[in-house]
Amino acid sequence: MPGGCGGRNGRSGFSLVEAVIAITISTAVVFLASSVFLVQNDFYGFLLQRTRAQDNARTFMDVVERDVGSLVGSALVEGEASHMVLRAPQTLGAVCGVSGTVAHVHWVSILSLDPAAATGIGARDPSGSWSFFPADVGTMVYDQGPAAAGVCATSGADTTGGAAVEFSKLRRLPPLLGGPPRPGDVLMVYEEVELAVRPSALDPNLLALYRGPVGGTATEYTTGVSVAARFEYQLDNFWRNRVPPGRLDQVTAVRVVASSYQPAESGVGTDAEFELTVELSLWNR
């Protein structure tokens, strides 16, 4: 008798072929979704690493440019591709009064003057060339304030625009200047600073930029520096990776290549690299 439930021709589920097709399609969808997720995750991870690389390169450039950008000619002490030693100015000053062999100096930026950290004094001759003299600046600078300003005012210098604290006395200058100090002599207090690219103390697998006083403790300013990061020096109109000691005073510019590298996290994904380059002329050239 025809009709009824569960007949021979009735269908209560998928056939084996249909089940296989359904599983295959579901697997493909899951695989594609996973692939899209992994691609997006790798992309966003790369953007994060690239941002870090850019920040590292900019920090590298800011630190080096701040020092090199203020150098006068002949202020380089050592010039190599991986490091440089330079006489970084703390402040400049002009002799505005003289009492015997004592110079009374008006400093441009008194807040940056740190006699205890300074390693010497630079003096500019009438031709504009600089000479540098190692000196114990801490024992040379004294009597900072109104007394020094008063001598300058008596000598005819205009002291109305500066605070008394910007003036100080400076002794034992004649041996450095080759004669008694004269009003108008331009002086510089400097400290010898090293900028170097070497293995990071925070991550031994990466390089880092260090800055610090020569013979003192260096500070790691940025981690993730590339092996391509370097310093170059313009000499005879050519860029060189190293300057012979006897020709340091002939360098006219420094090229800073701030190259950074940031590996993908957990070793999975794409590494990021970024590079900034700037050429800095040494002023007084």
Q: Name the band, by pLDDT with cuts 50, 70 and 90, for residue 1.
A: very low
Mean per-residue pLDDT over the chain, rounded = 84
Output DSSP code: residue 81: S
Q: What percent of the chain has pLDDT over 70?
A: 81
Whole-number pLDDT of residue 56:
92
Highest mean pLDDT among 34-43, 107-116, 123-132, 227-236: 227-236
Determine the Cα angle at 210 with ends 205 and 215, to 5°.
125
**Where would I find the H helices in the chain?**
16-68, 137-140, 146-154, 174-177
- Residue 118 in this model has a pLDDT that exceeds 80: yes
Q: Name the band, by pLDDT with cuts 50, 70 and 90, for residue 226.
A: very high
Please give the distance of CA 226 from its chain centroid, rounded to a whole number. Answer: 14
CA–CA gap between residue 222 and residue 65 (Å, rounded): 14
Whole-number pLDDT of residue 285:
46
Q: What is the pLDDT of residues 151-209, one digit of tens each?
A: 888 877 777 666 778 888 999 998 888 888 888 899 999 999 999 999 999 988 899 99
Q: What is the pLDDT of residues 28-47, one digit of tens each?
A: 666 665 665 555 556 566 67
Half-sphere exposure of residue 65: CA atoms within 13 angstroms, side-chain side? 13
- Residue 13 in this model has a pLDDT that exceeds 70: no
Whole-number pLDDT of residue 63:
94
- Residue 142 in this model has a pLDDT that exceeds 80: yes
Ranking 35-44, 63-72, 109-118 by mean pLDDT, the lowest is 35-44
